[in-house]
Structure 1
Amino acid sequence: MKWNARFMRRRAAVLALALSASVISVGPQATASPGACSLPSGELSVGELPAGSSVIECDAVGRIVRHDNIGVTVPQPGMGVNVTGLAVDGGHNGFSLSVSENGIVSYDLDGDESESPTGGADAPDDISDPVITPDDVTEEADDDNADQPDTPQEGETPVLTDEDFQATAVAACSDDARKYTGWAEFGTYNWYIGDGGMPGGLTRTQAMWAFQGSINSVTNPTSCGYNDPVKAKEDYKGRTTYETDISSSGNCTDRDKKSTWDAGNLASSTLAVSCTWTAQRPGPDDVRESDVRFNTHDHGFTNNPTSNCHSQFDIRSIGAHEAGHVFGLDHVTGGRHANLTMTPGSGPCETHHRTLGKGDIIGMRDLYRWVH
């Protein structure tokens, strides 16, 4: 099985930079002198902290880097972070920033095709002592940024399928397209419900069931005639008074060690954002935290689309797409693949992305066959 192509390109670049740096180092403990790199104040662009920079020399850990109208906080050496936004118009934006063990920055800005990764073992996640960051808001009001409840009105009938959607696209169970992000959950995805308002005006208990249904559709897909279990694991850990580590401007903030799903304010053109933090290792990186936020400040969501639905977005369709990112699936682009869950777009009231298509399922089966 070939190694992940993105992983190989990134590691090769980092190794070359590290070997170059070792030629001029005084010894194994040598580091650059403070102030050797000067960064401008405020948020940075990828040009202001280019690939090959040292986060140690530049004192860049904790700084925000933005690209494609979305951003990440530079992590500690040995870690990576990815931000992905799902747009209302069916588009998407995002990128990954990784810091090698010796502090060298690398990026994935273009979402190149990734091949199936090799296997590996999990390093247990430490979730016992989460970090409180300025963006965590405790005991937030239940109705903060919540959209209207999606209780069906009398006479409305449920919408179960979207037969007219993308009729020219390949049928979901015939389309085997899939892509990989370059990470996987080697252990168990332990996740929480955040303290803010929930999409669709749901209670936190109702939201838990909706989110869990979305996650289970990815970890245990049964559509398209596939019945063999995927060896990806998840465990709902309960409610937390923390929010997702995602700011209203779409930045992945400092992580608090708790994978959280919630709702709140994001850029108006965005339906949802996921932030995933990973630890570097041979093969695909290992997920340490992955947060998902729905944009209830600008958009309405429903857990039960009906015949009278016009502008609300289906929670479980959006949730399944974001759960795909959590577990290592990337976008498959183009109208041809519009019926797959991992296509970057889901229109109002559409429910068919709740269940995975052939390519989505093959991607998960292949990825987790080698992970576990």
Structure 2
Amino acid sequence: MVVLSGIERNVATYGYRLFKFELRDGFGRSPVNLSECAGEHYADIAIHLLQLLKSTQIGRPTLRNSPAPEEENEISGDEVDNVSGQKAFQVISATRVQRAIFGEVFAGLFSEYEVALGVPGRTEDRELGEHAPSKRFRFALVLPEDAVVGVLVVEVIGRVCPVDLLVRWLAYCSQQLALGAESDDEGYDEPSTSRPKAIKWWKPVAQPMMDNDRLQEIIKQGKFGSIELIKHEVQTDRTRRKTKFKLKAPSIDEGVAQEVAAAIKGWFTERLSSENEESRKLSTDKDGAKVLAAIFGESVQNLDFDDGWVQVEDEAGRKTNISPSRMSEIFTYPLSDGKKVDDATFYDQARVTFGCLATAAKIDVDWPTLGKTV
């Protein structure tokens, strides 16, 4: 951290995460062969969808007739009356190379900052109420010729990785096309009951690629900084949660560290062995909080915490909070501090990391070089 005239400035860290990439036929649960998307390969569909997303998208869109309860309160792409606190997303570029797509997106947050201060005498200050300061993130989607699993790599800046926005907007855009969506700002009509049921839309699913060697190295280092447990209360509108109280253990002794390591290994093994990312049997953060609270005895366990995490520190000194839903943050592969590496280095390093994980993940793709003839 750098301090300039009393102002703390955090140096940006850059890295990437790898994900298994699968496809569903709408809300179906079974993986679809990526070469059998109603007569097309998904690479052909994805490049088209990405081109359609080259304008600012707001929020995390709701998929029509979604069966998941947690999706009921999500903002849809056309609800833009109040953008404060909403995420912004925009595809900058997308290049197709064989069965791979290399691209860049902007991702940011409205109202995260109030004003952009200009250089005196050169540029004016600018209020940012309806502007979302955004960062540029690179990605690579590499798909097999004829199989159900590919690989998705998304850049990480600090702790931000817009993978969820990327896959969600791909699904939303695909669904809009399948339902005969209008292209204006008024959204689209409900699908007609007479509309043929054969119309297809495709829902991408991105699961973090688990790296057992990296996990073991983190546990071996034993750099567990703290445990934090939180109890929330639901606000009167029942759509927001407020922290009721929290408990923080600022340090972890050797005995507790062994129990913490066992908990993290359990979360890792659970996800590694799960064949369905939508399985309701996977531990939630509330389950994880109960496990961590139990380490400190019955008096803490009985406080009924509903969220919690373990802070770990990697070899570069980066601190990450880990819980059942935050496991992917362990597997952020660092690239640089303070300055982005060039595109060639980014994609080459991601390809090397994937090569180390591909066999265990059972993914077989031909990763082309960016710029190679399609």
Determine if the TM-score, normalized by the shorter chain, exceeds 0.5. no
Structure having the higher Rg: 2
TM-score band, normalised by shorter chain: under 0.3
The structure whose residues are more often helix, as a share, is: 2
The structure whose residues are more often strand, as a share, is: 2
**Structure 1 length-normalised TM:** 0.24
